[in-house]
């Protein structure tokens, strides 16, 4: 398959990345696309998502367990801190 | 150079909606290259500029290996150094100072090395996640686990970050207070620095400014030298983990658990991954990212040990520093390390609060932007990404203002912030491990057996420390 015009320009731009070469014209989209990966481009990232993962029962139990632990401990710690700052007479 | 007129973001809807998958294909080779070329933004151009510099340095390696490699290192270090030197924040440096004042040179010096090694294991995973997926941590959690779990993760982050930000401004106020600077001026100066760092509209420039500030975390090193410690004792403690701390076992255990649990905080995971993405790092850069993270951990370890050593004279002279706040350490040390040493110590506390304030407010802004789908890059100018910058500045402004409010519950916040960070780590680590072992997300860069062994060991230790610390705090104060 013949390379597209953008691929040809991008290859040329990539070859020019030598140590003594001046910075390329980044107004040229082909140059920008030659150094970024496909999903680094903002427009591409906005339109692609990894999708929901299926969580096994074990994973759900673990996540819920950790969440329950955090909430309970948070309440206990806040109550304890308040008591420490305002001890009963 | 003519400023690019960005295509309206909603024109991205012209592209088909599809699944993301780990890829190293150059955008120019994508089937959507022609469409992407029309939809490039200012953020893409700035990121491409940074990537071009990295490509140039890689090619320069062929001509001058050392020069090219140094250039590459210079270009790619940043997120790792910032996250670890940011973690040496005001409360952490005060915690190390309190450790040195209470226990002197001994067990806690090699212990600090161990805690940073644990942090290194965790943070390395964020480098791989960011470089492979090009997505921030909040965004990935929402994508893979859904809105419900994403909101919980965000809740932990927002609460922890805000409270930690308050303690950073307490440190800024206290550090500059040593020099007689009024609180309102100190807080204002801190906010001005946060604002100045973001006005460049370039991630690269923001990163270099913040790294320049972070280097001053090393002020604790000359303070330690001025303390004239017995360096043989420091080396002996590193090798033998002795002398062991004396005192109430419960208090020592509490301090150990607090130090373990506070080694890695949720904001570090969110920040480094988002910074890696904003920096435009790619899978080819993972090695450099690991070096960057290792360098950050090493520097932070040295500076943390320096803080312990700097305050060891207080231990040797039997000074009770258990109730000391930031400026009091500097004042108490003056007879032994001199006014210059005390001033360096106070400046170090200010710097610790300053860099952490920048990094933590940025991590909050990244997370909100990723979740809301708005522009969330330091490569965007203020007017283009005003929700992102508003979150960043708003969180810093609110935290700074709270520090100036008379009778604000600052002591309460200082008491609970460390505990909250410890409590919030287990769920954050669980998500991190699930993501980094997700082959659909990571492709060939999933954790290896040994990486999982190290990561799970650290995670279990941190979870146990978190549970132990929380329970100990509750039963101690009940």
Q: Are A43 and B470 inside 8 Å of each other by CB?
A: no
CB B130 within 8 A of CB B277: yes
Chain A residue numbers with beta carbons less than 8 Å from the beta carbon of B36 are 29, 33, 38, 41, 43-44
Taking the CA of residue B337 and the nearest CA in chain A, the distance in Å comes to: 34
The reply to whether A60 and A83 lie within a common domain is yes
pTM of the model: 0.89
Cα separation, A84 vs A73, in Å, equals 16
Cα separation, A20 vs A29, in Å, equals 22
The reply to whether A41 and A15 lie within a common domain is yes
Taking the CA of residue A39 and the nearest CA in chain B, the distance in Å comes to: 7
The reply to whether A65 and A23 lie within a common domain is no
Name residues of chain B where pLDDT drops below 70.
1-24, 62-64, 254, 257-258, 261-262, 326, 411, 415, 470, 473-478
The reply to whether A42 and A85 lie within a common domain is no
The reply to whether A59 and A88 lie within a common domain is yes
Q: Tell me which residue range forms the domain holding A73.
A: 53-89
Q: Are A77 and B416 inside 8 Å of each other by CB?
A: yes
Confidence at residue B350, expressed as pLDDT on a 0 to 100 scale: 93
CATH of domain B77-477: 1.20.1740.10
Reported as a single tens digit per residue, the pLDDT across A32-43 is 988 899 889 898
The reply to whether A57 and A45 lie within a common domain is no
| Structure-model confidence comparison of residues B5 and A24, the more confident one | A24
Q: Where are the alpha helices (DSSP H) in B246-325?
A: 249-261, 266-279, 286-310, 312-316
Most B CBs within 10 Å, among A36, A48, A76, to test the B interface? A36
The reply to whether A39 and A9 lie within a common domain is yes
The reply to whether A43 and A7 lie within a common domain is yes
Write the Ramachandran bin of B287: left for phi over 0, alpha for psi from -120 to 50, otherwise beta: alpha
Confidence at residue B2, expressed as pLDDT on a 0 to 100 scale: 34
The reply to whether A44 and A13 lie within a common domain is yes
The reply to whether A41 and A61 lie within a common domain is no
Q: Are A32 and B20 inside 8 Å of each other by CB?
A: no
- Any idea where the domains of chain B sit in the sequence? 77-477
The reply to whether A9 and A37 lie within a common domain is yes
Q: Which tokens go with B177? A: 């207070």
**What ipTM did this prediction achieve?**
0.79
The reply to whether A41 and A1 lie within a common domain is yes
Please give the tally of structural domains in chain A.
Answer: 2
Sort B169 into a burial class: Cβ within 10 Å, 0-12 / 13-18 / 19+. buried
Q: Which tokens go with A16? A: 């020019």
Reported as a single tens digit per residue, the pLDDT across B380-396 is 888 888 889 988 899 99
Cα separation, B289 vs B354, in Å, equals 24
Confidence at residue B166, expressed as pLDDT on a 0 to 100 scale: 92
Res. A23 pLDDT band, cuts 50 70 90: low
């Amino acid at each position: 398959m013949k390379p597209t015009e953008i691929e040809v320009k991008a290859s040329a731009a990539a070859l020019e990345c030598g140590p003594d070469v001046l910075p390329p014209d980044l107004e040229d989209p082909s140059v920008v696309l030659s150094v970024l990966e496909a999903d680094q481009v903002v427009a591409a990232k906005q339109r692609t998502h990894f999708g929901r993962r299926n969580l096994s029962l074990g994973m759900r139990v673990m996540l819920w367990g950790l969440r329950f632990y955090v909430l309970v401990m948070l309440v206990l710690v806040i109550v304890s801190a308040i008591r420490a700052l305002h001890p009963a007479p | 150079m003519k400023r690019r007129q960005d295509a309206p973001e909603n024109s991205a809807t012209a592209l088909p909606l599809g699944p993301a998958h780990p890829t190293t294909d150059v955008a120019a080779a994508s089937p959507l290259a022609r469409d992407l070329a029309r939809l490039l933004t200012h953020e893409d151009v700035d990121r491409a500029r940074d990537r071009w510099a990295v490509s140039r340095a890689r090619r320069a390696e062929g001509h001058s290996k050392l020069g090219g490699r140094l250039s590459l290192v210079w270009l790619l270090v940043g997120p790792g150094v910032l996250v670890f030197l940011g973690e040496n924040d005001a409360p952490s440096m005060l915690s190390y100072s309190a450790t040195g004042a209470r226990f002197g040179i001994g067990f806690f010096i090699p212990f600090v090395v161990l805690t940073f090694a644990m942090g290194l294991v965790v943070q390395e995973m964020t480098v791989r996640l960011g470089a492979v997926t090009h997505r921030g941590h909040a965004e990935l959690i929402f994508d893979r686990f859904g809105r419900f779990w994403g909101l919980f993760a965000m809740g932990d982050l927002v609460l922890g970050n805000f409270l930690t930000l308050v303690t950073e401004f307490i440190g800024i106020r206290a550090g500059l207070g040593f020099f007689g600077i009024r609180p309102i001026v100190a807080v204002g100066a801190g906010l001005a620095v946060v604002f100045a760092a973001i006005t460049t509209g370039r991630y690269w420039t923001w990163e270099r400014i913040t790294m320049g500030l972070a280097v001053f975390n090393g002020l604790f090193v000359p303070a330690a030298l001025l303390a004239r410690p017995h360096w043989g004792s420091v080396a002996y403690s590193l090798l033998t983990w002795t002398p062991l701390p004396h005192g109430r076992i419960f208090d020592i255990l509490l301090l150990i658990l607090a130090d373990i649990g506070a080694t890695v905080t949720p904001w570090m995971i969110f920040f480094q991954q988002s910074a890696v993405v904003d920096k435009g790092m790619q899978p080819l850069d993972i090695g450099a990212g690991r070096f960057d993270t290792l360098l950050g951990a090493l520097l932070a370890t040295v500076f943390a040990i320096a803080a312990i050593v700097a305050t060891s004279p207080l231990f040797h002279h039997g000074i009770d520093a258990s109730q000391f706040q930031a400026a009091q350490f500097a004042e108490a040390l003056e007879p032994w390390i001199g006014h210059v040493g005390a001033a360096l110590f106070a400046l170090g506390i200010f710097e610790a609060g300053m860099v952490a304030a920048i990094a933590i407010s940025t991590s909050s802004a990244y997370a909100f932007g990723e979740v809301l789908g708005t522009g969330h890059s330091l490569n965007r100018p203020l007017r283009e990404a005003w929700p992102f910058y508003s979150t960043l500045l708003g969180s810093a402004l609110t935290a700074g203002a709270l520090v100036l409010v008379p009778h604000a519950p600052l002591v309460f916040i200082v008491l609970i912030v460390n505990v909250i960070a410890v409590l919030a780590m287990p769920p954050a680590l669980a998500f991190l491990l699930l993501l980094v072992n997700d082959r659909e997300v990571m492709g060939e860069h999933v954790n290896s057996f040994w990486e999982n062994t190290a990561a799970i060991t650290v995670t279990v230790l941190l979870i146990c420390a978190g549970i132990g610390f929380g329970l100990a705090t509750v039963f101690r104060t009940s």
